[in-house]
Amino acid sequence: MLQREMTLGSISAHTASAGKPFPKNGRCWMSVFTFEIVRHGEAPVIANVLRLSDERAIWCHAEALALRIQNRDSAFIRVKNSEGETIVRAGVTTALASIEKCSCAACPVKREWERRVSAGA
């Protein structure tokens, strides 16, 4: 179901500049988010559980997950917070379209998407 995994370290570096400042005590408060692949009539598949210091990084990770999904028809990405509440629910095609429209020239997700498009994947 999933293609080869994309390295998410570069995504974290990409979103680090958008992060909240560290508290004065030097500790970073990180929330836990569960990324799931959801298809109609099937149980959700947990694709990743991540600790993120900035909620704005969630979408980059959702886009990277969309790149890994082979059968994109009627598949959704759902992200839940540590309380189990759904905070993102987006179609895979929506996430992929978002990658295409990304204006950041240094975006590692967009570079991977362009590489796959040029390779005909």
pTM: 0.73
- The Cα–Cα gap between 109 and 118 comes to 14
Q: Is residue 54 part of a domain?
A: yes
Structural domain that includes position 32: 9-18+28-119
Q: Is residue 3 part of a domain?
A: no
Q: Is residue 41 part of a domain?
A: yes
Q: Is residue 1 part of a domain?
A: no
Q: Is residue 4 part of a domain?
A: no
pLDDT digits (tens, 9 = 90+) for 31-73: 999 999 999 889 999 999 999 988 889 999 999 999 999 888 8
Q: Is residue 23 part of a domain?
A: no
Q: How many domains does the chain have?
A: 1
- Are 59 and 83 within 8 A, CB to CB? no
Radius of gyration (C-alpha) of the chain in whole angstroms = 15
Q: Is residue 2 part of a domain?
A: no
Nearest 5°: the CA angle 76, 47, 85 is 65
Q: What is the mean pLDDT of the chain?
A: 81
Q: Give the least confident one: 31-35, 70-74, 94-98, 108-112.
A: 70-74
